[in-house]
Structures are given as structure tokens and as C-alpha cells.
Structure 1
């Protein structure tokens, strides 16, 4: 009677060893042939038979079982109508909301402020200005605004003037919504430098970048309707957990 469990355990162990050997073989082949790829962090099987995911940092590639081919692109599940690559990258780039350095942001509250989002923005970013105008239509939110001047030296100057203004919220919205350039001001701007360091660490490469309370990151300007959709997803997840 003990024979079947023993055989099953042996089979499971063999599969595990086989998977490890497969991963090791792919790592070695790709590292030998394309050393410029850098350190391979993970090799995992995918939902598509014979296709393996190769993760390097937050970059995702695909390869065959022997590492003879390397694909840079998106894997789509046509049945479920899901972009599996996008789902994976979203998980890899998610940021723990509770770990955000909120002391280096200023806060904009509308309505009851129950729904929270952190946004990294450059004051010279045209997409950010369009996004800010749309965001005026979203109520009952708290926005943690991180100044993230990555476009030009003028971006750094405007960020300094906003951060050092007596009323940061007014100075920000005057510029982004009403095209009113902030008055020159000076103060300690170490927070802005910390924002840039945080962004580099988490590979925030464009503005605006939104981070919702569930850790989901959204790069690029989205409309008020999409913002509402994201907030609804956060609320749904929170309800499911409780």
C-alpha cells in the first residue's frame, strides 16, 4: 500500500530536478551566447508549452527549451484576452504603497480624500498637464504629489520653486492647470533629490507615473474614467481581502 505514495514522491522529485536542470541549461546557454544580457534573475515556464520566461530585473524575455532563440515581445492569452507579459511586468514593478516616502511629497485633497494615489510628475511634462486637467474631474481623492524633474534643468528650477512656495498645492495647480509660472523661491530641496533617487531605484522612467494603494503602477497620462476604473479595482481588492 505504501508503494504508490513512494512512486508519486519520486516522480515529483524527478520533475523538480528536471525543471532545475532545464533552468540551468537555459541560463548557461544564454549567458554564454549573449553575455551582454547581464545577470539572469529567473527562468520560469509559461502557460505556452515549450516557452520559457527569462527575467532580468524588471525586463521580461522569452526563449525555447534549449535557449536557441530569444524573443523580446508580448505574450497574449487569446482565450482569456489577457496580456500575460503586461500582467507580469505590473507585478514586477509594483511598489508597496506603505513604503512610499510620503514626507517627500505634498498632498492634494479633494472631497473626503478616502481614495489615495501617488503621482510622480515633471512640471514641464505636457502629458502631465493634460492629465492634471482631467484629474480635476475626479473627487474624493488624496494625491501624494512627488516632484520628479527629469526632462530639463528648467524642470528642476520649477520643481524647486513649487516645493519652496508658501502654498505648494496652489503653485502646482497654477502651473499645471492655469499655465501660471511659479515665482522664484529657495529652500532645502533634498526631498526632490530623494524623489529622483527613489525613481531610479524603482525604474520610474517617464511622467506622469501613478501608483495606487494596491501597488499597481500606471505609466503615462490616463483620463478621469480610467482613474476611476483603477480606484474601483483597488476597492474591489480591498473588499475581497476583508
Structure 2
């Protein structure tokens, strides 16, 4: 009984300390950032007296590094020179992988082959030229065993014509057909419905998307830009081998 009580007390104090730590970093960040900023996680780093802090300012989460006393903030990457590893990007890959898995089939638009070797999530914008080029080659991607799931990332923001076009596609009775029409520059009937476009956009910000198309692989790796079907297959094969 005493052991159980001790364990419960230890868990309580650990939770209290973690909450105090988050509050301290939030207070420090609010001096230079949005008053709405939230600290989601605080984790150790290989650097003494520096913590990894995952924050969300409302548009999406990002990683910052803050000194233990809350006086200094680093916005950038930590690179392990000896092991030649980008520690920050490793953490971002974990975040992206978890983020992509949070969108089920009912929250994305899928173009998947019958026999799928690779599954790639693509952040797309209806009005993006290279996004349209990628979509025009969907049959070739699928023939190579590459399945593509679309999430929307209207580059002009959530109050733009591109956002409205994304909503029209999402709310269509046949989303795949509507996507293909829109990507070909054809009009899609205006419609309104409950949709996840804002969540897609926020996920893109968190994933580090700055342009479209942006591909997120199954391991959480971010690949910005368009690659022709065969080149993408070769790239995916090389990553799988390594």
C-alpha cells in the first residue's frame, strides 16, 4: 500500500513539474509572440540546459529550443556533427508521421492502386501548376504501385479562391472526379458542406509545408516539389533500401 501511494505521489509531482515547466515557457514566449501561444510538449535535448519545446500559435505547431531559465530562444535546427544527423528533422518526421496517420480515409481524397507498394500524402493546391501536372500523371504513379492521398493546402490561405475550390471538390458527390476536373482547370459546381480543409491547412503548416505540391512519405519525411512518376519510384526505392 505504501509503495502504491509513493508511486502515485511521484506521478503527481512529475505532472506538476511538467505543468510548471510548460507555464514558465509559455510566459517567456508570450513576451515576444502571440498571447494565444500554447506549449504542447517540453523534451530534453543533447545540449545541456536547453529544452526542445513544441508550441502552437494557432496556425500549426513548431519546434523551438529554449534555455532552462527561459531567457534564450533558438529557432532553427540541432545537427549532430559526429553522427551526421539532423536531430530536429528527425523529430519533425515523427510529428509528420503521426499527423498523417490522424487523417483517415474519410478525411482525405485517395487515388490508390490495387497493389500499393508506397503510400504518399500530397499537400495540394487546386491552382498550383505542378500540382496539376502531378495529377495528370496519376495513372502512371498508380501503375508503379504508388498510392496518393490528397490533403488540401490552399497557398493563398483560408479566405481565398483556392480554398473555395477545395471546398467545392470536397463537397462534390464524386470527389475523385471533381478533383480531376478542377486540376484540369474545369469548373466544379459550387457547394458547401462540413469539410476538413482548415484542418488540412493547419496540418500542412505543422508539417513544414511552404509550397505545393509537398509530399510526405510513410516515414514522415517531407519532399517538397514535383517528381515525375519514375523518378519518384526510384527515390522511394532508394529510401527503402537505405
Report the TM-score range of the alignment, normalised by the length of the smaller protein: 0.5 to 0.7
Q: Given the alignment of the two structures, is residue 145 of structure 1 paired with residue 150 of structure 2, yes or no? A: yes
Q: Call closer, same or farther: CA 1:197–1:219 in 2, change over 3 Å.
A: farther
Work out whether residues 112 and 146 of structure 2, in 8 Å CA contact, stay in contact via their aligned partners in 1: yes
Compared CA separation, residues 31 and 218, structure 1 to 2 (3 A): closer
Tell whether 2:85 aligns with 1:82: yes
Q: Is the 8 A contact 2:124 2:214 kept in 1?
A: yes
- Give distance in 2, aligned partners of 1:159 and 1:71: 37
Unaligned runs of 5+ in 1: 1-12, 238-242
Output aligned runs, 1:12-23, within 5 Å: none
State the structure with more CA Rg.
Answer: 1
TM-score (norm 1): 0.63
Runs of 4+ in 1 over 6 A off after TM superposition: 20-23, 133-136
> Residue 4 of structure 2 aligns with which residue?
none
Structure 2, unpaired ranges of 5+? 1-9
1:231, 1:194 → 2: CA distance? 34
Q: CA deviation digits over 1:177-210, x for unaligned, max 9?
A: xxx422x4437553xx523133145354653343
**Residues 157-236 of structure 1: pairs in structure 2 closer than 5 A:** 157=165, 160=168, 164=172, 168-169=176-177, 172=179, 176=183, 180-182=184-186, 184-186=187-189, 190=193, 194-200=195-201, 202-204=203-205, 206=210, 207-214=212-219, 216=220, 218=222, 220-224=224-228, 225=231, 228-230=234-236, 233=239
Mean CA deviation greater in 75-84 or 197-206: 197-206
1:63 aligns with 2:66: yes
SS of equivalent to 1:90: helix
Question: Retained in 1: the 8 A contact 2:152–2:166?
Answer: no
Count of aligned residue pairs for this structure pair: 211
TM norm structure 2:
0.63
CA RMSD after TM alignment: 4.2
Judge conservation of contact 1:120–1:145 (CA < 8 Å) in 2: yes
Offset of residue 76 of structure 1:
0.9
Equivalent residue in structure 2 for 1:103, among 99, 102, 106: 106
Q: Distance in 1 between matches of 2:236 and 2:191?
A: 35
For residues 2-41 of structure 1, the aligned pairs below 5 Å read 24=20, 28=24, 30-36=25-31, 37=33, 38-41=37-40
SS at match of 1:202: helix
Q: Residue 38 of structure 2: SS of its match in structure 1?
A: coil
Q: 1:157 to 1:44 in 2, by over 3 A?
A: closer
